[in-house]
Amino acid sequence: MESQFDNTDENYWNRSSRAAFSFDDEDDVDLGDVGARTSTGQASQSSKWDNNAIFNDDTISEASFDNSAALGTLNHLSIKAILSDEALKLVLQEQAVDDHVMPKGVTPEEELKLLRRQIQSTLYSPNLELTAQKLLHGKVAPLEMFKSLLEKRQLLDAVLANGGDAIIGVLLFLKRTLNATQFHGILQQRPKALEHYLSYLRQSGDVSSYIDMLQRFGRHQEAALRQFQAAMACNELATRKQQLQRLIDAYASAGVGIIPLYEQVFHSALKLQLVREKDALGDLSQRLGDEPTPIELLYVCCSQNKNWKEQDMLKISSPQRFAADQEISPAQYEWTALNERAQAQAYADLECIFERVSGWHPLKSKQFHISFDLTLAVQRLFELKAPATVLQLFLSKMSNSPEKLVLAQRVKCIKAVIDAMVSLKQQQELQQLKQTLPDRSEEQFYCENALKSLQSKRWTTDNIKLKL
């Protein structure tokens, strides 16, 4: 319903009238020259493929309705060949919403009979089977004559046996005509009906009744989830915070048991609101959607962090503090920081991220530590165009030399290739590699040194140190 429709309308209908009827497959419509028909068919088919612009067009055009290839095959098929008249009539009749319409050409006596039967069935004696059958066929069926509780229950059981949309239809009728106690009593005994009713409430967007029903029928965990969802859907931060706080309090004190995961996530969601409230997170948060995830916020925190050597744990937006507050796993923290620092080309900070001071021995020097596969780190750094020295730093931590060699070759880190060859004692390959390196380049010197060290097989103190 864009306004552009009005402008294009004239065009559209001109276009379609030119190409009209080209694929009509009904035999009884006289379309004139058959040959002309097929030829226009081919033309529009090919034009469809060539002219992709029509597809991107926001308007519904003739072309986007062109299904020539599928329709073309049907040119010779008539509906009579696949479906008998009787069956077709039945199909069309079953499609109608209402079957009250009186068939034409009925004698007055017959009409009277029909009407009498109808009145009888609608006003006086509820006909259970007929009603269930009608509902199954999708016809409008009056339910008002089901007055007694027994009749209502029977009606519900009849439609429950078949399944289908009639269940919700009858349930809404019961809700309207019974008081809450009776209605809930009926639902209590019929779990299938309850599921349908809950599904109805959920789809209708009536959150409060939905949560209410869940709680009433003892499904407190689901209710808590829905409340959480409703709270998160609030656009205003203050209300959201308030609702989350209320939910957390209620959840802890309800005495219906606690799922630790839910509790943790509720708490982190609240904490996240606090961070967002306190710190305006700068330009980058503009780039994020309205609802940044914890990892995305961590990324923002990383981009704003100045001091990577010693992070200020008192500041809630310092990456480590934020990760601890949100219970972000070490692997996630490291991966996010790696990506952010590499994007920002602040490679020097990478060492700080992957450093661990061993807790039991504070005097010992800091150690390299990574929580995910080193290969992945190297590959990502390569993708982000990190310089060879950085790649070498990470490659040097790999212990498996054959793998290291393959990876180093893939990311074109010559020095690491040389290192790996040295540890694999591949003298010949090193020689070959040396030939390919540009003269007097740094890598060539490195390669030469490596070769020298390989050739001197003496037991030097250096070698012993390396082993240790």
Taking CB under 8 A as the criterion, which residues in 193-222 touch another protein? 195-196, 198-200, 202-205, 220-222
Which of helix, strand or coil describes residue 365?
coil
Q: Which of the stretches 165-173, 180-188, 397-405, 407-415 binds another protein when contact is defined by CB under 8 A?
A: 165-173
Neighbours of 60 (CB within 10 A): 11
Q: Which residues contact 374 (CB under 8 A, 6 or more apart)?
A: 394, 397, 398
Q: Does 259 bind another protein (CB under 8 A)?
A: yes
Q: Does 131 bind another protein (CB under 8 A)?
A: no
Q: Which residues contact 358 (CB under 8 A, 6 or more apart)?
A: 364, 367
* Positions 388 through 447 that interact with another protein (CB under 8 A): none
* Positions 3 through 42 that interact with another protein (CB under 8 A): 5, 9, 13, 16, 19-26, 29
What is the DSSP track for 69-126?
Answer: HHHHTTTT--HHHHS-HHHHHHHHHHH-S---SPPSS--HHHHHHHHHHHHIIIIIS-
What's the closest the beta carbon of residue 181 comes to another protein, in angstroms?
A: 22
* Positions 320 through 359 that interact with another protein (CB under 8 A): 326-329, 331-332, 335-336, 339-340
What's the closest the beta carbon of residue 468 comes to another protein, in angstroms?
A: 30
Distances (CA, A) of 288 to 46, 304, 341, 353: 42, 15, 18, 24
* Positions 231 through 250 that interact with another protein (CB under 8 A): 232-233
Of 37, 153, 380, 434, which one interacts with another protein (CB under 8 A)? 380
What's the closest the beta carbon of residue 198 comes to another protein, in angstroms?
A: 7
What's the closest the beta carbon of residue 137 comes to another protein, in angstroms?
A: 7
Query: Nearest CA to 34 among 23, 46, 45?
Result: 23
- Give the pair of three-digit tokens for residue 198: 């809950």
Of 183, 217, 347, 372, which one interacts with another protein (CB under 8 A)? 372
What's the closest the beta carbon of residue 34 comes to another protein, in angstroms?
A: 16
**Closest to another protein by CB, 106 or 256:** 256
Distances (CA, A) of 78 to 81, 84, 163, 194, 228: 6, 11, 35, 47, 57
In DSSP terms, which residues pair with 355 in a beta bridge?
A: 368
**Closest to another protein by CB, 254 or 357:** 254
**Closest to another protein by CB, 135 or 418:** 135
Q: Does 136 bind another protein (CB under 8 A)?
A: yes
Q: Does 49 bind another protein (CB under 8 A)?
A: yes
**Closest to another protein by CB, 128 or 168:** 168
Which of helix, strand or coil describes residue 356?
strand
**Closest to another protein by CB, 74 or 115:** 74
Of 7, 120, 264, 436, which one interacts with another protein (CB under 8 A)? 264
Which of helix, strand or coil describes residue 293?
coil
CB 276 within 8 A of CB 237: yes
Where b means 16+ CB within 10 Å and e means fewer, 236-249 reads eeeebbebbeebbe
* Positions 59 through 118 that interact with another protein (CB under 8 A): 60-62, 64-67, 69-71, 73-74, 77-84, 86-88, 90-92, 94-98
What's the closest the beta carbon of residue 151 comes to another protein, in angstroms?
A: 18
**CA–CA separation, 146 and 157 (whole Å):** 13
What's the closest the beta carbon of residue 309 comes to another protein, in angstroms?
A: 24
In DSSP terms, which residues pair with 367 in a beta bridge?
A: 356
What's the closest the beta carbon of residue 423 comes to another protein, in angstroms?
A: 25
Q: Does 384 bind another protein (CB under 8 A)?
A: yes
* Positions 169 through 198 that interact with another protein (CB under 8 A): 169-170, 172-173, 192, 195-196, 198
What's the closest the beta carbon of residue 453 comes to another protein, in angstroms?
A: 35
**CA–CA separation, 207 and 217 (whole Å):** 16
**CA–CA separation, 41 and 72 (whole Å):** 8
**CA–CA separation, 187 and 196 (whole Å):** 10
What's the closest the beta carbon of residue 138 comes to another protein, in angstroms?
A: 6
What's the closest the beta carbon of residue 79 comes to another protein, in angstroms?
A: 4
Of 145, 225, 346, 424, which one interacts with another protein (CB under 8 A)? 225
Residues touching another protein: how many (CB under 8 A)? Answer: 127
CB 328 within 8 A of CB 298: yes
Q: Does 280 bind another protein (CB under 8 A)?
A: no
Which of helix, strand or coil describes residue 417?
helix
